[in-house]
Structure 1
Amino acid sequence: MSGPLRWYDPNADNPPWLKALAEVRIRATREGWCHAHVQAIVVAIDQYAEAALGNRDYFLNKPHSIGGRSSNNNVP
């Protein structure tokens, strides 16, 4: 996939299947399910995201840069 990586945005108008995958990925860790089953679900969702969307970390939080860029390039 060319171009910048895409990330899941819960506020965007996502198709129902993306919303469902994101919800299962989040809920799996909170419902008291068997750890091995949770790991299998999370790995399967992440592998699907990598194959279909080009970003294995699609459902993880979008990384934010630390600090900002200065608009003044003359400052040493």
Structure 2
Amino acid sequence: MNNTYLTTEELSDRIKYDARTIRQCLKDSVLLEGKHYIRPFGGRKILYIWEVIEEDMLNRAQDSLTIPMANGGVCHG
């Protein structure tokens, strides 16, 4: 399993968000421990898993292009 582990600063360079925004707004609300990031060796340092974050960003971008319909379906507009 080849994952790319990034620090907060490296992630901020890739997704063009301020590192402070990642720490204060995205971590633990959008980016979840165990899925999007880990704390190696039980320490304070956080490493983000790039492949998982990238996949979630792309999936949510595709989901936002759909319009929910009253019958439960979606319109791909």
Q: TM-score normalised by the shorter chain: which range applies?
A: under 0.3
What is the TM-score of this pair, normalised by structure 2? Answer: 0.26
Q: Which has the larger Rg?
A: 1
What is the TM-score of this pair, normalised by structure 1? Answer: 0.27
Instruction: Name whichever structure is richer in strand by fraction.
Output: 2
